[in-house]
A and B are shown apart, each in its own frame.
Chain A
């Protein structure tokens, strides 16, 4: 089946440092969504990217969708302790299909004060 590879699996940063997580697909995506899951919580939707080369910002978070619509990234500037959690990307393959969204395995962000 289709796979979305997400790296790194874990990222330790000092508070105030930047953080980036990457998602890659071998085939073209129709769109990509990003979710955040706090420890012990449930995934919460952050954003959806649809257009080739799209860049969206939410305060300190910057989301990008590649020109070929096969990769995406989430960058957090100057991390804060509230950013702790796991960040998932979820891709929708062109034509949709029965499986719908395919989730990456997530990047765990650990922040050291």
Chain B
């Protein structure tokens, strides 16, 4: 099992550009989520999904879109990148229900917006 994979590992964008961060898991987990990690801020939930076709907002959803067309994939789209979105982004999955089971995190994408 590859677990949770994320691409790309590093990305530099200019303000206003859009891009998609990819996340995939091969553990047949129903629950997937996206976090951003900023110095001194811990992990903050952006969006989550409880299954294919179902998504919802977390604590900091503004400027991001998600979709979940398959169980395996949960891409995160930045619509118009801003310097405030410079961060490390982690995708995570769990068997079911966030908080009820172990969260498996991907290796992260380090994004810089100039």
A residues with CB within 8 A of B = 1, 6, 9, 30-31, 33, 35, 41-45, 48, 88, 90, 92, 96, 98-101, 103-106
Contacts and interface: CB of A to CB of B under 8 A. Distances in A.
A105 B99 contact: no
A92 B90 CA distance: 19
| CB-CB nearest 3 A-B residue pairs | A100-B98, A92-B99, A105-B42
B58 to A, nearest CB: 6
B53 interface: no
B105 A88 contact: no
B105 A42 contact: yes
B10 to A, nearest CB: 12
Interface residues of B, number: 25
Interface string B82-111: 000000001000000111101111111000
A31 B100 contact: yes
Contacts of A43: 43, 90, 103, 105
Nearest to A104: B42
Nearest to B48: A100
Contacts of A1: 59
Given A42-B106, A100-B48, A33 B43 contact: no
Given A30-B99, A31-B99, A43-B105, A100 B41 contact: no
A31, A43, A90 — most chain B CB neighbours (10 Å)? A43
Nearest to B108: A42
A87 to B, nearest CB: 11
A99 B104 contact: no
Interface string B25-42: 000000001010000111
A10 B71 CA distance: 38
Contact of A9 (B40, B58, B98, B102): B40
Given A6-B42, A90-B43, A100-B98, 4 more contacts: A90-B99, A92-B99, A101-B98, A101-B99
B112 interface: no
B67 interface: no
